[in-house]
Structure 1
Amino acid sequence: MSRGEIIVLILSLLFEASLNQPCERETDCPTENQEVFSSSTTEIPSLLRPGVTEVFFLSSQIETIPKGAFVKNPQLEKLELLSTTTTSIEPGAFEGLVDLKHIEISSTPLTWIPVGVFKDLSNLEKIILKFNKLRSLEKGLFDGLDKLTELQLHGNDIGSIEDGTFDGLENLLVLHLAKNNLSAVSTHWFSNLNKLQTLRLYDNQLTSVPEDIFQNLPNLKEIALHGNKIAELSPNLFPHKEKLNKLLLENNLLTGLPEGFFVGFPQLKTLTLQKNKLTSLPPALFGEMPKLTDLSLSQNSLSTIPKGVFSPLKKLKKLDLSKNQFVKVYAEYFEGPEKLVDLNLQNNKIKSLDADLFEKLQSVVTLRLAHNDLHTLPEDIFEPLLKLKKLYLSDNPWRCDCNLIPLHLWIKANSDKIVSAAVCEYPEHLKGQNIKSLTEDQFICPHPSPHTTAFPTTEPTTIVTTTTPILTTPTTTFTNHHSPH
């Protein structure tokens, strides 16, 4: 094959590969009914080509959406302005778009939207106004949109919302208010949204949540409150628990939780509590949650937990207790979730483990014990873990003496399971050595065995031993500088 033929072949293969490349975004491969305008566009064209029902403006230099901008294109069903330079929308900008179902204006410098701009868009089903600079929402802004099912307002600078702003949205299913500057929420905002399924308020500045905020929201499936500054939750915060399947509370300032707070959630699949300030848990915190498989209490300040606190969580597969203050953990902690597959105890201050700690956790596949204060482990502690495949032991101050021989032998026999290596901290001459790489005779106890007795001798540092037990201090050594008593 000639060089020219090879080049032609390579080019044809590259062209074919480009044809098979999937479109990452909808606008990368527009269809016949779609039209895309890019950064060279400075104003909205008055007339689109026939058949276009969806129009996209990407990084266009459109500063103002004028009144009647789309009156000659009443057939539009989808309109998106993404990363444009838009700073204002005139009243009546979208008049005539009676078939519009989807509108998005995102990642613009827009600070305000006039009341009435969505007037007569009675077929709208989705409004996305994310990552703009909106500062407030006024009552009347969304009036007449009784078919709207999704409203996304996250990533703005919204600090205030007038009561009644969402009142007419009787069919709304998703309300996304995350990543704004809300320091408080009003129960009145949501009082008419009884079909709402998803409410996202995460990454705001909330310090508290009204007790009756969810009173009129019986169909909620997701509540996202994470990333706020909430220090306390009312015991009666969730009057409607039957349908809730996702509850996100992590990264707040919670120091405690009410007794029985998580009782009565039959559909709950996701519950997040990590990155709070929890110092203790009530004895009866959880009820039966047959759908909950993953629970994280990581990055709190727990040093102890009530024995059996997880006992109702029979289906739990993953439990994360890392980055707390545990010095000791007990087998009773894990009564109930005996089907655990992943147990994370990393980054605590655990000094020792009881020999029976894992007796009921025979399903554990991944066990994380790294970054603790473990010096040694009981013999056969891992024997109940018949399904163990991944064990993390690094960053513990392992004392490599004769007491560690059982662990050394187990590590050598199960080296394929060790994910992060255990290395010696003591004695000094073995510091930094991988436990697995040592030989058994390197694990020496610092003192003679119980059957070894030292007798006085005239030679300095010379020790004479006998196997006969003597009721004197076993390790006493005398030199020619002292006389025996």
Structure 2
Amino acid sequence: MQRQRVILFFLFSLLDCFLTVNQTCEKQTNCPSEKTVFNAMTEIPPSLWPGVTKVFFLDSHIKTIPKAAFVENPQLEHVEFINTDTSVIEPGAFEGLVNMKHVEISSTPLTSVPIGVFTGLSNLEKIILKSNRIRNLERGLFDGLKKVTELQLYGNEIASIEDGTFDGLENLTKLHLAKNRLTAVTTAWFSKLNKLAMLRLYENQLTSIPEDIFHNLPNLKEIYLQSNKLTELSANQFPYKDKLTKIVLDDNLLTYLPGEFFVGFHNLKTVTLNKNKLLSLPPVLFDEKTNMIDLGFSENELSELPKAIFSPLSRLTKLDLSNNHFATMSADYFEGLHRLTVLNLRNNKIDSLGSDVFEKLQSLRTLDMSGNNLQTLPRNIFEPATHLTHVYLNDNPWNCDCNLLHLHRWIKENPMIVQNPVVCSYPEDLKEQEIKSLGEEQFICPTVVFTTTVLPTTALTTLELTTTFTTTSTTTWPTTPTSTIPSATTASTTIASEETTTDIIATMQQTTTETTPVVTTRAKPPLEKSPGLLSYKDTNTAQQCKSQALIYIALLLVEVSCTFVLAKFTVSLYTLLQCRKRMQQEVKLTRFSYRKEVILRPVQESVEKE
């Protein structure tokens, strides 16, 4: 008997607990039973727990949502079918759900939504029909849904929409039509959507949009038109400029922008025109009242920019010019960008930079110059940017000679700023070695050697000359003075020289060439470009040194030219002399005699005479 009482007490306790939980769920909206999830279901259950307000059907095999499927569950406010096999929705499927606020049918093979599916859902606020296979939308589908603020239809196969389809959505603020197959849009689609703030039409097949398509959208703030095939935009494409905050035009076929296209957009924060075909930009594109903070021109065909084109954008913090054809960057491009913190110059063709290029970017924090053709950088190029935290210099053909020593020191002093390894490409013995791992003694400039190459411009001429020289000369030896010698004899001496004829036969080969002086300089390794290495403080000194160097080079060329002219004259004179007729000269030595007379007289006779 005692045992039966215990069992009855236990049963009454369970019943009391059950009733208590039920009363709590009826009073509280966040009790565990308000949300129910069904997996692998084949049909919709006719009735649910009275406290359930949200029901989810995930990965189920429900092929049809029949009419009045939830008529016995009027308390439902949120219904979702995600990744189910649903291919048919009957009109009146959500009949009786007067409190419904959110409905979603996504990732199903559904190809159409008939008129009448949403009839009677006057409190509905959000409709999501994404990632299905819906092909068209009919007029009247959304009639009576005055409280709907968001409609998502992206990821379908929609190719046509009847005019007036969205007319009943007078409070709609977000319309998502991206990733469909739309080839054209009409102004009538959006003529009644006065409160629309966000319109997404990206990843369709639009080749053009009407000039007045946005004229009935005075509250439009965000426009997404990327990944279409737009080739041009009208100068008056966006009439309500004071409300727009974001315009995305990436991945189209735009080749130009109208002048002053973004003038008057005082609240515009973000504009991206990446991955288009822009060849140039107009001289005036923005005005000083623009509060833009993010601007992108990546993956275009820009090679230069108008002077001070970004100067009105004093609030700009991010500028993307990557993947273009810039060969250099001028400080004038960045005029007025005092608040710029991110500058992307990646994957251009930059091979030289001025020493003052970043002088006006005192707030710069992130600088990406990777993937260019830089071999060296000017000294102190990063000196004005005192707030740098991230610098990318990788994937450039750095020439690690003495001109790069300053960059080596800067990298060593700022190891946390340089993000990726920076390696040498030249010279050959330092190739693929990381710059910061090298010693200063390894940054050597080669000695410049001047060599002269003489290039023949005429055919070689070989002359064989036989020259006979006949020299005739007359030499007279002077006779000695007369002297008295005590002797009784007279001697007469005659010295005769034979006639001498000298024949000189010379045989020589002469090569006559007309030469052109060529001065070549050998320096290893070969440098494609040698950008200026002086800071902007030493510009005058560098200019003077450059002028002197040019003068010395000119003098050297003049000296070499004169030397070759003189050589040519000498060769010509020698050739002329060799072409003259043979000249013969006789060498004739006349006979000369040496005569000396001695007269002997008696002593007496000589005394008498005295």
SS across alignment from 1:419: coil
Whole-Å separation in 2 of the counterparts to 1:47 and 1:422: 67
Whole-Å separation in 2 of the counterparts to 1:305 and 1:390: 25
Whole-Å separation in 2 of the counterparts to 1:72 and 1:151: 27
Q: CA deviation at 1:349?
A: 0.3
- The structure having more radius of gyration, on CA atoms, is 2
Q: CA deviation at 1:32?
A: 2.0
Task: Indicate the residue corresponding to 1:408 in structure 2.
Answer: 408
Q: Spell out, residue by residue over 1:72-110, the C-alpha distance to the aligned partner (whole angstroms, 9 max, x if none).
A: 222221111111111101122122222211111111110
Q: CA deviation at 1:372?
A: 0.7
Aligned letter for 1:232?
E
Q: Which sits farther off after the overlay, 430-439 or 234-243?
A: 430-439
SS across alignment from 1:199: strand
Whole-Å separation in 2 of the counterparts to 1:359 and 1:390: 17
- 1:253 and 1:54, CA in 2 relative to 1: closer, same or farther beyond 3 A? same
Whole-Å separation in 1 of the counterparts to 2:298 and 2:308: 18
Whole-Å separation in 2 of the counterparts to 1:318 and 1:110: 42
CA contact (8 A) 2:214 2:239 kept: yes
SS across alignment from 2:279: coil
Aligned letter for 2:51?
G
SS across alignment from 2:416: helix
Task: Indicate the residue corresponding to 1:442 in structure 2.
Answer: 442
Whole-Å separation in 2 of the counterparts to 1:174 and 1:55: 24
Query: Is 2:193 aligned against 1:193?
Result: yes
Higher helix proportion, which one? 2
Task: Indicate the residue corresponding to 1:124 in structure 2.
Answer: 124
Whole-Å separation in 2 of the counterparts to 1:373 and 1:34: 60
Cα RMSD (Å): 2.3
Q: CA deviation at 1:31?
A: 2.9
Whole-Å separation in 1 of the counterparts to 2:172 and 2:37: 29
CA contact (8 A) 2:174 2:199 kept: yes
Task: Indicate the residue corresponding to 1:399 in structure 2.
Answer: 399
Task: Indicate the residue corresponding to 1:32 in structure 2.
Answer: 33
Q: CA deviation at 1:137?
A: 0.2
Whole-Å separation in 1 of the counterparts to 2:38 and 2:413: 64
Q: CA deviation at 1:159?
A: 0.5
Aligned letter for 1:285?
L
Within 5 Å, which residues of 2 pair with 1:87-166? 87-166=87-166
Aligned residue-pair number: 433
Aligned letter for 1:148?
V
Whole-Å separation in 2 of the counterparts to 1:180 and 1:285: 32
Query: Is 2:232 aligned against 1:232?
Result: yes
Task: Indicate the residue corresponding to 1:250 in structure 2.
Answer: 250
TM value normalised by structure 1: 0.85
Q: Spell out, residue by residue over 1:48-77, the C-alpha distance to the aligned partner (whole angstroms, 9 max, x if none).
A: 121222221111211111112122222221
- 1:195 and 1:228, CA in 2 relative to 1: closer, same or farther beyond 3 A? same
Q: CA deviation at 1:290?
A: 5.1
Aligned letter for 1:145?
L
- 1:284 and 1:65, CA in 2 relative to 1: closer, same or farther beyond 3 A? same
Unmatched runs of 5 consecutive residues or more in structure 2: 1-29, 453-551, 561-566, 571-610
Aligned letter for 1:65?
I
Q: Spell out, residue by residue over 1:386-407, the C-alpha distance to the aligned partner (whole angstroms, 9 max, x if none).
A: 1122221111111222222222
Q: CA deviation at 1:453?
A: 11
Q: Which sits farther off after the overlay, 224-233 or 420-429?
A: 420-429
Q: CA deviation at 1:332?
A: 0.1
CA contact (8 A) 2:401 2:443 kept: yes
Within 5 Å, which residues of 2 pair with 1:380-395? 380-395=380-395
Whole-Å separation in 2 of the counterparts to 1:379 and 1:140: 69
CA contact (8 A) 1:61 1:84 kept: yes
Q: Which sits farther off after the overlay, 217-226 or 377-386?
A: 377-386
Q: Spell out, residue by residue over 1:402-433, the C-alpha distance to the aligned partner (whole angstroms, 9 max, x if none).
A: 22222223223333322123222122222222
Task: Indicate the residue corresponding to 1:16 in structure 2.
Answer: none
Whole-Å separation in 2 of the counterparts to 1:377 and 1:174: 49
Q: Spell out, residue by residue over 1:335-373, the C-alpha distance to the aligned partner (whole angstroms, 9 max, x if none).
A: 011221111111000110011111111211121111111
Whole-Å separation in 1 of the counterparts to 2:189 and 2:140: 13
Whole-Å separation in 1 of the counterparts to 2:53 and 2:370: 57
Whole-Å separation in 1 of the counterparts to 2:330 and 2:222: 34
Task: Indicate the residue corresponding to 2:63 in structure 1.
Answer: 63
Within 5 Å, which residues of 2 pair with 1:84-483? 84-288=84-288, 291-448=291-448, 472=556
CA contact (8 A) 2:263 2:290 kept: no
Q: Spell out, residue by residue over 1:133-191, the C-alpha distance to the aligned partner (whole angstroms, 9 max, x if none).
A: 10000011111111111111111100000001011111111111111111111110000
SS across alignment from 2:329: coil
CA contact (8 A) 1:265 1:288 kept: no
Aligned letter for 2:416?
D
Q: Spell out, residue by residue over 1:306-349, the C-alpha distance to the aligned partner (whole angstroms, 9 max, x if none).
A: 11111111011111111110001100000011221111111000
Aligned letter for 1:225?
L
Aligned letter for 1:142?
F
CA contact (8 A) 1:201 1:225 kept: yes
CA contact (8 A) 1:232 1:257 kept: yes
Q: CA deviation at 1:435?
A: 2.2
Q: Spell out, residue by residue over 1:253-278, the C-alpha distance to the aligned partner (whole angstroms, 9 max, x if none).
A: 11111111111122222221111111
Greater relative contact order structure (CA < 8 Å, 6+ sep): 2
Whole-Å separation in 2 of the counterparts to 1:410 and 1:119: 70
Task: Indicate the residue corresponding to 1:74 in structure 2.
Answer: 74
Whole-Å separation in 2 of the counterparts to 1:439 and 1:47: 80
Whole-Å separation in 2 of the counterparts to 1:289 and 1:394: 37
